[in-house]
Amino acid sequence: MPAPELRICLDESDLDASLRLDVRRGLTSHPKYLPMRLHYDGRGSTLFAELTRQPEYYQTRSERAILHDRAGEIAVALGTDPVSVIELGAGRAEKIRPLLGALTAAGRLDAFWPFDVAEGEVRDVLLELSAAYPDAYLGGIVGDFTRHLSQLPDHHDTRLVAFLGGTFGNFSGMERSQFLRDLREALRPGDWFLLGADLVKDPDVILAAYNDAAGVTAEFNRHVLYVLNHRLDADFEPDNFEHIALWDNDTATIDMRLRAMKPMKVDLAALAIDVSFRVGEEIHTGISTKFVRGELENQLQATGFETTRCWTDEHDYMGVFLAQAI
C-alpha cells in the first residue's frame, strides 16, 4: 500500500486565530461563554480520557459496548460493497476499531480516514493503523469538521462517515441542522452516516455523569481557564470558579458553566483586554443534548438521511444510528 495521504485544511496559525476570535467574542458577550472545543489541548484530552473511566460516566462505556457487540451487524447492514470509512473527531480512532475489524474480517474495508484538528495525532494514528490494516488505503484529514466536510475523500467506493462519542449533542439545535445539511451535501446518495447519540433517560443518571464523585468533570471544566492562561497569557484563578452542571428538562440538555466565587478582574494580555466578573457570574462552557430516538430520526430525515437501524446498549442509555443519504 502507498504511504498514507494527508490532507491539511488548517494549521497552528489557523487554530491560534480561531482561539483568539472565539475567546474575544465569548468573554465580551452577555452572558459570557467559551466553546467546548477549547478544553481539548493535551492535558484536556488526558482529563477527558480519565473522565470516561469514572463509574458515573456511562456514555463511553455504553457506546463501546454497542460497537463491540454489534460491529458484525453494522458491517452486514452496510451491504456487500467495499467501504471507505471516515471518522470525524477520530482522536486515537479507538471507538471505530470494532467496526474496522468487522469490515476487515469480511474483506470489505477499502480505506480508513481519521479526521481531526490535531495533525500530530492524525499522523500517529495512521502510523499505528498501517500495521493493523495493511490491506486498507489509509489517509487523514487535518481540519475542522464544521468547516471542511467538502474535503471528504471520494474514490467512488461506498463511504461511511462515523461521528461517535456523543459529540453531536455538543452542538446547538441550529448547529446540528447545519452540520447535517453540510454532511448530506458532501455525500452521494447511498453513502452512510453512523451517529452515536446520548439518549434521554433518568435525569439523575445524566447529572451524575457530569458531577462525578472524584471531581474529574469539574477539573476538566476548569481546565479551559488554564488553556487561556497558557495560550493567551491570561491570569485566571481557576480554583476560584465553581463547576456547575444543570439539567434543562424542556430542551433535554445539560448546560455546563463556571461560576465566579469572588469578584475578579482577569487580564488576557495576548488579546489586550480585561474581563471583569461579579460574584456568581457564569461562563457557559458547553452543552450536551440528549435525544429521543424518533425526534433524532426525524431530524435526520429532514436533512436528507433515512435511518435504517438503531442499536442501543442494555440500558438504552446510548444509541448508534445508521442512516443512508437519500
CATH code: domain of residue 111: 3.40.50.150
The verdict on 255 and 302 lying in the same domain is no
Residues 268 and 302 in one domain: no
Cβ atoms of 174 and 308 closer than 8 Å: no
Rounded alpha-carbon distances, angstroms, from residue 50 to 165, 220, 222: 15, 9, 15
304 falls within a domain? yes
- For 116-154, give one letter per residue: b (16+ CB within 10 A) or e: bbbbebbeebbeebeeebeebbbbbbbbbbeebbebbbe
pLDDT at 202: 98
Q: Are residues 234 and 318 in the same domain?
A: no
In 3D space, the residue among 187, 196, 188 whose CA is nearest the CA of residue 166 turns out to be 196
Q: Output the nine-digit C-alpha cell for 210.
A: 457530569
Which pLDDT band holds residue 22 (cuts at 50, 70, 90)? very high
**Whole-number pLDDT of residue 40:** 86
For residue 263, cis peptide bond before it (omega within 30 degrees of 0) = no
Tens of pLDDT along 50-96?
999 999 999 999 999 999 999 999 999 999 999 999 999 999 999 99
CA 30 to chain centre: 26
So what's the pLDDT on residue 42?
Answer: 79
In a domain, residue 3? The reply is no
pLDDT tens across 302-316, in order?
999 999 999 999 999
Strands 83-88 and 273-277: unpaired
In the chain, the number of structural domains is: 2
Phi-psi region of 166 (alpha: psi -120 to 50; beta: other; left: phi over 0): left
- Shared-domain flag, residues 225 and 300: no
**Predicted confidence band at 157 (pLDDT cuts at 50, 70, 90)?**
confident
* Residue 114 pLDDT > 70: yes
| Contact between residue 241 and residue 222 where contact means Cβ atoms under 8 Å apart | yes
Q: What is the pLDDT of residue 43?
A: 87
**Rounded to 10 degrees, what is the CA torsion of 69, 74, 80, 86?**
-110
pLDDT tops 80 at residue 2: no
Q: Which domain holds residue 152?
A: 57-201+293-325
Per-residue pLDDT band at 155 (split at 50, 70, 90)? confident
> Do 171 and 315 belong together in one domain?
yes
Q: What is the pLDDT of residues 92-108, one digit of tens each?
A: 999 999 999 999 999 99
Q: What is the per-residue pLDDT for 104?
A: 97
Q: Does 10 map to a domain?
A: no
Within this chain, do residues 318 and 261 fall inside the same structural domain, yes or no? no
149 lies in some domain: yes
Instruction: Reply yes or no on whether the pLDDT at 292 is more than 70.
Output: yes
Q: Is residue 26 part of a domain?
A: no
CA distances from 184 to 72, 82, 83, 150, 175 (A): 25, 20, 17, 10, 14
Decide if 270 is inside a domain: yes
**Residue 258 shares a structural domain with residue 299:** no
Arithmetic mean of pLDDT, 152-170: 94
* Residues 119-133, mean pLDDT to the nearest whole number: 92
Segment 206-231 shows an average pLDDT of: 97
| pLDDT of 45 strictly over 90 | no
167 shares its domain with 276: no
Tell me what pLDDT residue 246 has: 97
Instruction: Tell me: do 220 and 239 sit in the same domain.
Output: yes
Do 130 and 225 have their domain in common? Answer: no
Whether 234 and 315 share a structural domain: no
Angle at alpha carbon of residue 91, lines to 87 and 94, rounded to 5°: 75
Q: 6: which residues sit within 8 A by CB, 6+ positions away? A: 119, 122, 123, 126, 139, 140, 141, 142
Q: What is the mean pLDDT of residues 140-165?
A: 94
Give the global pTM.
0.96
Quote the mean pLDDT of the chain. Answer: 96
| Predicted local distance difference test score (pLDDT) of residue 1 | 63
Are 222 and 259 in the same domain? yes
